[in-house]
Amino acid sequence: MLIGIDASAGWIKTKTGAENYAKNLILALAKIDRKNQYILYSPGPLDADFGNLPTNFKIKILKYIKFWTHTKLAWEMFRNPPDILFSPSHVLPPLSPKKSVITVHDFAWKYFPEAYSKTSLWLQKVAVERAKRKKAQIIVYTQSTLRDLKKFYKISNSKISFVPMGFDRMHYQKIKACLPAGMACSAEIAGPYILSVGRLEKRKNTAGIIKSYLLLRQERKIKDKLVLVGKPGIGYGEIKNLINGADEIKKDIIETGYVNDKELRVLYSGASLFVFPSLVEGFGFPILEAFAAEIPVVTSNISSMPEVTNGAALLVNPKKPFEIAAAMSQILNKSALRRSLVLKGRSRLKYYSWENCARETLKVFESL
């Protein structure tokens, strides 16, 4: 069987959760499957991790132009269609084989359309509607996304496959290291700190994190700083106003902007706790990253977060800053609770592996 995969995620330099999912899944498929033939379609050279693919994996460069999926990839599907086309990003080209598979990551664009450009919203809408029209098999990796898929598009169960997400826990394992001296705010991050990772925006509830932190700091013995990792997004104006209005505590709220993978790993390892009260998530990779770094987690009791954590984190109403602050206070003041959450987080990681994700995805291909 010839399986074509949109591998453009391996070409993108700065990867988000969806691109990392695609990259790691492709590499895991390369480790477990020697029977089927694969073609990886990309607008340009894939990154170095794709340098040692087995002989049944071929890379085909379709030179980048705007709307690459809808033009170059579509034309290739017309001229040389594989038996199956897999799109890990959930966008199928207008022309695609009868047997096609996509992964739908989330419906954040339905809940927070203001966070997306008009072009992006159009592409998101077209992607799912096109997959439904073409009767593509749809992979989801959380029950939360599955519910949204049925809610918004009423797709039958037979066209949906549940495949557990993968994760490499060794990559974010706790390490002893100092932040690189060249990192802009490394000198400011001294002493204990609470960590938050994600774009500074409304959907990630960054304003709620700051409000809850200001409440937490009313406890005199708590001096932990708040480290916000991520670029500004929609609603950043309110976030900046909250920081500027924090008086003497303002200096303890540190924005790092974008950090590279090595810097992020060091930041996880040094944190006293991880706070992630997002308003909607397709999955929430940072939660697993925190579990791997052995730090306790406070996250939301809505969307996919309860399912991902499965009892290994303190769950809160993300719209109630006092509740978030109280959960953080419990972790910082109760060492037994902290140890318990770390152990539960470590145990929860056993459920997620790229090998299992690849095997279950391969079963989907072979069932068509």
Per-residue pLDDT of the chain in tens (368 residues, 90 and over written 9): 999 999 999 998 877 788 999 999 999 999 999 999 999 999 999 999 999 999 999 999 999 998 899 999 999 999 999 999 999 987 899 999 999 999 999 999 999 998 888 888 988 888 899 999 999 999 999 999 999 999 999 898 999 999 999 999 988 888 876 776 666 676 678 889 999 999 999 999 999 999 999 999 999 999 999 999 999 998 899 999 999 999 999 999 999 998 888 899 999 999 999 999 999 999 999 999 999 999 999 999 999 999 999 999 999 999 999 999 999 999 999 999 999 999 999 999 999 999 999 999 999 999 99
Strands 137-140 and 100-103, bridge-based pairing: parallel
Q: Strand runs (DSSP E) across the chain, as ranges?
A: 2-6, 37-42, 57-61, 84-87, 100-103, 137-140, 160-162, 193-197, 225-229, 253-257, 273-276, 297-300, 314-316
Give 44's DSSP letter: S
Distances (CA, A) of 239 to 73, 106, 316: 40, 25, 20
What DSSP letter does each residue of 165-233 carry, written as one string? PP--GGGG-----PPPTTSTTTTT--S-EEEEES-BSTTTTHHHHHHHHHHHTTSTT---EEEEEB-B-
Architecture of domain 170-351: 3-Layer(aba) Sandwich (3.40)
With contact defined as beta carbons under 8 Å apart, do 275 and 198 qualify? no
CA nearest to 280, candidates 310, 312, 302: 302
| pTM (predicted TM-score) | 0.92
Give 155's DSSP letter: -
CATH class of 2-166+353-367: alpha beta
Domain boundaries, given as residue ranges, for the chain: 2-166+353-367, 170-351
In the sheet where 100-103 sits, what is the strand order? 57-61, 37-42, 2-6, 84-87, 100-103, 137-140, 160-162
Q: Do domains 2-166+353-367 and 170-351 have the same CATH topology?
A: yes
Q: Which two tokens stand for residue 302?
A: 């809505």
Distance CA 168, CA 147 (A): 27
